[in-house]
Structure 1
Amino acid sequence: MLTAQPPPERAVYGNYIGEPGIPPEMLTSGFLSAHPDIRWRREGSYSYNRKEYDLAMDQFTRAARYADKPSQAMIAEMYWKGLGVPQDRELGYAWMDLAAERMYPNFVIKRERYWGLLDAGQQRNAIERGQQLLAEYGDDVAKPRLAKLMQRAKRETTGSHMGFVSGGLKITPMTGPLAGTGITMSPEEYYKPEFWNPQEYFASQDAEWGSPERGQVNVGELENVAPAQDETAPAPETTPEP
């Protein structure tokens, strides 16, 4: 797994590992079917940890189609090391370059490390091969793909995956790590914009993965500044007055 920076803290429920930034009661089968980026990344991680690399590659690739940068980085790592696929460092770099598209520090560090280990010919090939990946998995196409699915799923959501308690004022998770615990949540919590509004959803990912903030610096007019006096230089000699 990627180790350029420590993994985020994750809540643990028995043998179930939580998802950073998402309450565990949210992770029902209905929620995950509407967020295939999370679903397939999680399944890919489980397969990878069991060393079922062929299965993990398929699952990470599914997540990668929905703009999941961590999954794209894992695909890069697997190609770089030859895990579940023939080793292909050019393709490994191309995938890591895609994972670093949003300038998440973890993935930028890896990308630059890979680049430095390729020779000039491999670098040219990696850039060329990366254009094909960008057309299929880049944010310009992958983000709208996920946004469309999320919006449709929200419209079609019913109580079949959750169940409702008295008056429909609370939602009781019927699947996921907290199923059967009696824990409830309000519809307002479940349908927070950060989970269902694509723009806010991606903004929360940027915050979670540490995308650097972009700002603007205004530079004023140039000014002539007198050189500073060198305090270490010997003082000029003076001639005593007669």
Structure 2
Amino acid sequence: MKPLSTWGLLASLFFLGVTQSSLAQNAAPPDPTQDKQMLSAGFLTAHPDLRYRLHGMEEFKHGRYEDALKFFQRAAFYADKPSQGMIAEMLWNGHGTQKDAALAYAWMDLAAERGYAGFLGLRERYWNALSESDRQRALDEGAILYAKYGDAAAQPRIATVLRRERRNITGSRTGFTGNVQIYVPGPNGFEQIDGSKFFDERYWDPKKYQAWHDAVWMKPRIGRVNVGELEQLPLAQPASRIPNAGPDVDAIEPETPERNESELGTKKDG
């Protein structure tokens, strides 16, 4: 069967609601992007990787590909591998931009940086389809991308935001989040969220936060969906072909259009 595309993988995990079951099997907390209360409490403001990815998915779903690409680029700035994979797919297929197979490969190599199975499979499929000249350009372009969007540059960014926003919300560096109550507006007045739910360490500690993402994306369980199957990979996968590049710590954050976040993460297709 046709290998599962990045969009198919994202749709399976998010729009079909399989993320929660995947996380449960990995003893991780529920997916906060599926919890309207969590989003109303400002969770996405403190998690720009998820915030801009969700915006990108919404724009893509409605065929607004140019805006979707901008949102995925901004999420990618904060180490979001699914968004990096989506940029690759859009470049590969010419959604919202001209087709560029070499640049698409560079982005997919970046998405596969942590060894996520779905992105590794797509990366190798891209590479096998490239001409020799495109392969060389992919390596040259990739070095530039890694400097700005690779984990060496992007993970410290998201770690800084997580720590800063948690302090801003709790007003404390140490935290006693089990005793913190958060109130958000609801249809019948204000609703209360227990701090132990909102401030689960796996949402805020940078290392645990990455481990949470790894639990979803390393070998995603997509269940029974009609979007294809993950490509079968050899046991040993080649490391990135792109030469190492020093992190660009002064890189400028991509700009995106203004969008209403009130309904993000609360709707599913179908």
* Alpha-carbon distance, 1:65 to partner: 0.1
Is it true that 1:180 corresponds to 2:191 in the alignment? Answer: no
Give 1:10's aligned residue: 17
Of residues 21, 24, 36, the one that matches 2:31 is 21
Q: TM-score with structure 2 length normalisation?
A: 0.66
- State the AA in 2 paired with 1:193: E
CA deviation after TM superposition for structure 1 residue 93, in Å: 0.5
Q: Deviations over 1:84-130 (max 9, x none)?
A: 11111100000000000011111111111111110122111101110
- CA–CA distance in structure 1, aligned partners of residues 212 and 75 of structure 2: 17
Q: CA deviation at 1:207?
A: 0.5
1:216-231, aligned counterparts within 5 Å? none
Correspondence for 2:258: none
Task: State the Cα RMSD in Å.
Answer: 2.6
Higher relative contact order (CA 8 A, sep 6+): 2
Q: For residues 119 and 55 of structure 1, what CA distance do their matches in structure 2 show?
A: 30
Letter in 1 for 2:88: A
State which of 139, 160, 185 in structure 2 corresponds to 1:127.
139
| Residues 1:41 and 2:25 are matched in the alignment | no
Bigger mean CA offset, 1-10 vs 33-42? 1-10
In the superposition, the TM-score normalised over structure 1's length comes to: 0.73
Matched, 1:170 2:177: no
Q: Which residue does 2:95 correspond to in 1?
A: 83
Gaps of 5+ in 1: 12-18, 160-167, 213-242
User: Partner residue of 1:96?
Assistant: 108
In structure 2, runs of 5+ residues without a counterpart are 1-5, 19-28, 172-178, 221-270
State the alpha-carbon separation in 1 of the partners of residues 88 and 71 from structure 2.
Answer: 14
Q: Give the 3 Å change call, closer, same or farther, for CA 85–119 of structure 1 in structure 2.
A: same
Aligned to 1:64: 76
Matched-pair contact (CA < 8 Å) for 1:75–1:95: yes
Deviation at 1:192, TM superposition (A): 1.0
The alpha carbon displacement at 1:21 in A equals 2.5
Query: Cα distance 1:20–1:135, how it changes in 2: closer, same or farther (>3 A)?
Result: farther
Report % sequence identity: 40
**2: CA distance, partners of 1:5 / 1:28:** 23
Aligned residues: 194
Aligned to 1:15: none
Amino acid paired to 1:140: A
Distance 1:68 1:101 in 2: 11
